[in-house]
C-alpha cells in the first residue's frame, strides 16, 4: 500500500516523502483513513509502530480546513504521559506539517518555566501537545481555551493511567466539546483502558496492530545472572567495551543509582549521562539532544525518563536493574531496534529475581535466553530453567553461543543472530569508539564539577573500582 491511497493531501504527502517514508506502517494504513473520515479510534499500538504519524497526519489535514469559529484556542490536543514523548510528538507535528502554512504547535509540559509557556499560549495555538498535570494547571489559570477543540488524542493512554493521571484526564475531557473526535492510542487494551475508552470515545473503530516491532522480534533478548553488584559491574563493563555497541540505554531502578552509575561510567571514560525525573527540563533536553546527535554513548536512565525515547542509534538496552513491572520491560527494550533496525536487550538478574524474570516472560510470551560471558559466569546455580541449550551435560551453564535459547516447546524468536560475546575478547572501547573516546566536550549536562577530563577506559579498571565501592554506592539506591 502507498501513502497516496490513504486520502492525504499533497503537501502532507510531500512531507512524508521528505521524511523518507515510502509505505505506511500497518497502524497508519488502518488508522489514517478512519480518522480522516471523522471516526473515533481505539488503537493498540506500541512505540515503534509509527503510531505518532497515524494520529498526526489526519489531524494536520483537518487543520488545512478553516475552523468555523475564529479564535486562538487549539484545534488539536495531544495528551502524553511524559515530557519526552510530548517533545517527540511536537517534533513529528512540525516534520509532517512543514509544507502547511501557519500551523502552530505548542507543547506545555511540567518543568518548563511558566512565563515561557504563558507567552506561547497567548500567541495562538493550532496543535497543543501537553502532559495532563501541567495542562490542567494552565486551564485552571484560564490560559487555555479548549472550546474550539476538534480532535483529542490520548497517546500512550495506558501509561497515563499507570502514572495516576486518570483524574486529570477526566477533568480535561470534561472541558472539551462533546462533538470532538477522539483518538486513543495505548500499548495494551486492558480493562482499564477499555473503561476509559467507553467514557471518552463515541462508537470507536478498534484497531489492533501486531507488527514485528510491537512484538519486538527484531530485538534479541538475553539474560545474565549476576551474583552481586560487583558482578553486575563487571558484566556491564564488558558489554560497554563491545565495539558493536553503538549507543546504549542502561536502566536503573532509582534516580540516585542512575546518577551514580552515569558518573562512574563517565569517570571511566564512557560518554555517559543520567536521565531521570528529578532533572530540570533543560538538562533533560540537553542530554537527549546529545544522545540524538550520537555524542552520548551511554544513557543511564530510570523508567519514567526513558519512555518514548526514539533514537535510532541505540543498539543496546541494558537492564542493570530489572523493571518493577513486566510492562516496563517491554517499553524499555523497545528503545532499541527503532525504525526497522535490529537491537539487543540484555537484562541482569540475581538468583532471587528469578521469579521476576518469569513474570516478564509470561507477560511477553517470550523466553529470555540465558547467556554467559566466558570468565564472567555466575557462581550461583540459577539454572532451574529449561535452558537445555545453555547447559553443559553436567548442568552448568555454558558460554552463550549466539544460538537461540532453545526453550522447550517454544519457537526460537531470537534465531540467527551471532552474539558478540562468545567470540570477542572485549576490545577496549576507548581505542575504537571514535567520537566517544577522549572528547571532553561530549559529556552531557551532568558532568560532575572538576571531572570533565576523559580518562582512558583502561581494561579492567572500571570493574575493579566499582567492585571496591559498589557496596556502599548501591546501598544508597
If the CB atoms of residues 339 and 423 are measured against ligand AMP, the closer one turns out to be: 339
CB of 252 to ligand AMP, least distance (A): 24
Pairing of strands 298-301, 247-251: parallel
Give the up-direction half-sphere exposure of residue 400: CA atoms within 13 A in the CB hemisphere. 28
CB of 52 to ligand AMP, least distance (A): 3
Question: Rule CB under 6 A: which residues touch ligand AMP?
Answer: 21, 24-25, 28, 47-53, 310, 338-339
Spatial contact of 158 and 187, defined as CB atoms under 8 Å apart: yes
CB of 23 to ligand AMP, least distance (A): 6
Give the up-direction half-sphere exposure of residue 193: CA atoms within 13 A in the CB hemisphere. 22
CB of 50 to ligand AMP, least distance (A): 3
DSSP secondary structure of 116-150: HHHHHHHT--SEEEE-HHHHHHHHHTT----TT--
Spatial contact of 29 and 6, defined as CB atoms under 8 Å apart: yes
If the CB atoms of residues 339 and 408 are measured against ligand AMP, the closer one turns out to be: 339
If the CB atoms of residues 98 and 358 are measured against ligand AMP, the closer one turns out to be: 98
Helix 166-173, helix 191-200: angle, nearest 10: 10
Cell numbers that stand for 304 in this block: 519514567
If the CB atoms of residues 222 and 307 are measured against ligand AMP, the closer one turns out to be: 307
* Contacts for 23-31: CB closer than 8 Å, 24+ residues apart: 24/50, 25/49, 25/50, 25/53, 25/54, 25/209, 25/211, 26/209, 26/211, 27/51, 27/54, 27/207, 27/209, 27/211, 28/53, 28/54, 28/57, 29/1, 30/207, 30/209, 31/55, 31/58, 31/183, 31/207
If the CB atoms of residues 138 and 214 are measured against ligand AMP, the closer one turns out to be: 214
CB of 338 to ligand AMP, least distance (A): 6
In terms of Cβ atoms closer than 10 Å to its own Cβ (0-12, 13-18, 19+), residue 133 is middle
If the CB atoms of residues 49 and 319 are measured against ligand AMP, the closer one turns out to be: 49
In terms of Cβ atoms closer than 10 Å to its own Cβ (0-12, 13-18, 19+), residue 386 is middle
If the CB atoms of residues 156 and 237 are measured against ligand AMP, the closer one turns out to be: 156
CB of 459 to ligand AMP, least distance (A): 36
Phi, psi at residue 129, to the nearest 5°? -115, 125
CB of 127 to ligand AMP, least distance (A): 15
CB of 310 to ligand AMP, least distance (A): 5
CB of 394 to ligand AMP, least distance (A): 46
If the CB atoms of residues 50 and 81 are measured against ligand AMP, the closer one turns out to be: 50
If the CB atoms of residues 24 and 204 are measured against ligand AMP, the closer one turns out to be: 24
Amino acid at each position: 500500500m502507498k501513502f497516496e491511497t490513504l486520502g492525504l493531501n499533497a503537501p502532507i504527502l510531500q512531507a512524508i516523502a521528505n521524511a523518507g517514508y515510502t509505505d505506511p506502517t500497518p497502524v497508519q494504513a488502518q488508522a489514517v483513513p478512519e480518522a480522516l473520515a471523522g471516526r473515533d479510534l481505539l488503537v493498540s499500538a506500541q512505540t515503534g509502530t509509527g503510531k505518532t504519524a497515524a494520529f498526526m497526519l489526519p489531524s494536520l489535514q483537518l487543520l488545512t480546513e478553516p475552523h468555523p469559529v475564529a479564535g486562538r484556542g487549539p484545534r488539536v490536543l495531544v495528551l502524553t504521559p511524559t515530557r519526552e514523548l510530548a517533545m517527540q510528538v511536537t517534533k513529528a507535528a512540525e516534520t509532517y506539517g512543514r509544507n502547511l502554512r501557519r500551523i502552530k504547535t505548542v507543547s506545555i509540559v511540567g518543568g518548563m518555566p511558566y512565563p515561557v509557556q504563558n507567552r506561547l499560549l497567548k500567541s495562538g495555538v493550532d496543535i497543543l501537545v501537553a502532559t495532563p498535570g501541567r495542562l490542567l494547571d494552565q486551564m485552571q489559570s484560564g490560559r487555555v481555551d479548549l472550546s474550539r477543540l476538534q480532535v483529542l488524542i490520548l497517546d500512550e493512554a495506558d501509561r497515563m493511567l499507570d502514572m495516576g493521571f486518570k483524574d486529570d484526564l477526566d477533568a480535561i475531557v470534561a472541558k472539551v466539546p462533546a462533538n470532538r473526535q477522539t483518538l486513543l492510542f495505548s500499548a495494551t487494551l486492558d480493562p482499564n483502558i477499555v473503561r476509559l475508552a467507553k467514557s471518552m470515545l463515541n462508537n470507536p473503530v478498534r484497531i489492533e496492530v501486531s507488527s514485528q516491532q510491537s512484538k519486538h522480534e527484531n530485538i534479541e533478548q538475553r539474560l545474565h545472572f549476576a551474583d552481586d553488584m560487583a558482578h553486575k559491574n563487571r558484566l556491564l563493563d564488558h558489554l560497554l567495551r563491545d565495539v558493536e555497541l553503538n549507543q546504549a540505554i542502561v536502566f536503573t531502578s532509582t534516580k540516585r543509582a542512575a546518577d551514580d552509575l552515569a558518573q562512574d561510567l563517565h569517570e571511566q571514560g564512557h560518554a555517559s549521562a543520567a536521565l531521570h525525573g528529578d532533572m530540570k527540563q533543560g538538562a533533560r533536553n540537553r542530554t537527549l539532544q546529545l544522545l540524538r546527535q550520537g555524542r552520548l554513548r551511554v544513557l543511564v536512565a530510570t523508567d519514567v525518563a526513558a519512555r518514548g525515547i526514539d533514537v535510532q542509534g541505540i543498539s543496546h538496552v541494558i537492564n542493570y536493574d530489572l523493571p518493577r513491572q513486566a510492562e516496563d520491560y517491554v517499553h524499555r527494550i523497545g528503545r532499541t531496534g527503532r525504525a526497522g533496525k535490529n537491537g539487543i536487550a540484555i537484562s541482569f538478574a540475581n538468583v532471587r529475581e528469578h521469579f521476576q524474570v518469569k513474570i516478564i516472560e509470561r507477560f511477553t510470551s517470550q523466553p529470555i535466553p540465558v547467556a554467559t560471558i566466558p570468565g564472567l559466569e555466575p557462581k550461583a546455580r540459577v539454572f532451574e530453567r529449561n535452558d537445555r541449550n545453555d547447559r553443559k551435560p553436567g548442568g552448568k551453564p555454558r558460554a552463550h553461543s549466539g544460538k537461540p535459547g532453545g526453550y522447550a516447546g517454544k519457537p526460537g524468536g531470537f534465531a540467527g543472530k551471532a552474539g558478540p560475546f562468545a567470540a570477542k575478547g572485549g576490545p577496549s572501547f576507548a581505542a575504537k569508539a571514535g567520537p566517544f573516546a577522549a572528547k571532553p566536550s561530549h559529556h552531557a549536562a551532568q558532568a560532575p564539577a572538576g571531572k570533565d577530563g576523559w580518562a582512558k577506559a583502561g581494561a579492567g579498571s572500571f570493574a575493579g573500582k566499582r567492585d571496591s565501592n559498589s557496596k556502599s554506592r548501591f546501598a544508597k539506591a
